[in-house]
Amino acid sequence: MLLAIDAGNTNIVFALLDGGAIKARWRIATDARRTADEYAVWLHQLLLLEGYDRKDVDAVIIATVVPRALHNLEVLASKYFGVDALVAGRGPVEWGITLDVDEPQSVGADRAVNVIAAHKLYPGDLIVIDFGTATTFDVVDYSGAYKGGIIAPGINLSLDALVAAAAKLPRIAIEAPESGSVVGRTTQDQMLIGIYFGYVAMIEGLVARMKAEVGRPMKVVATGGLATLFERHSGAFDAIEPDLTIQGLGILYRRHKGAK
């Protein structure tokens, strides 16, 4: 079985795949100081709870946007699973797609993997939106080439900045407003409306501008933990794929295995 690891700025997702199917997934807060031994203790217990053993893992693939976390994840693979980890975007696991931008070396691993998975699932021109620490909008053309995109502050970052800068504003949970009203009657309601519907307006506005600039019909594929949150009050998404990055890692691994 394949252990796919998506190391993001906020969380690291570990997923167990068998023939491309996701059998289990776990999430832990990203901490570049966490050692391979700490990962192993935590992960071993979770594998057992799901009815698996670490001996079931015969391959590991990693995508990371946190360079400092990579070494300990590679040690985890070698020390506790007895394999050399494959690193997405680094030989022998090259992207296999065209990064048609001015600085291809700067494209985040998660974004490249999302593009690969989205194009496999939905051939044609696409906008891929990933709701993470940052919210990213990526344009994929009909050939599967990555053409560029947008990086915006994630909704939680926006809320944290607002609360940190305004002494009297309380911390609130991010959720879809129960009513569709954009006129709040309390401070908390006004904050929620501003954050939530402000974000919806940003999503819809940027998607409309990107579609107009490309000039061809495009599907919008959303991923990330907050994608379903915005579906309730927005028709911007054609599809939601919560595990897009993990699916992309599975595709990369199968492509690499087939090439061998």
Active site residues: 110
Distances 173 to 129, 189, 226 between C-alpha atoms, Å: 22, 11, 12
Q: Do β-strands 239-240 and 2-7 pair in parallel, antiparallel, or remain unpaired? A: unpaired
Please give the Cα distance from 248 to 2 (Å, whole number).
13
Amino acid making up residue 56: D
Q: Cβ(177)–Cβ(193) under 8 Å? A: yes
Rg of the chain's alpha carbons, rounded to an integer? 19
Nearest to 238 by CA among 223, 259, 260: 223
Distances 89 to 51, 75, 96 between C-alpha atoms, Å: 32, 19, 9
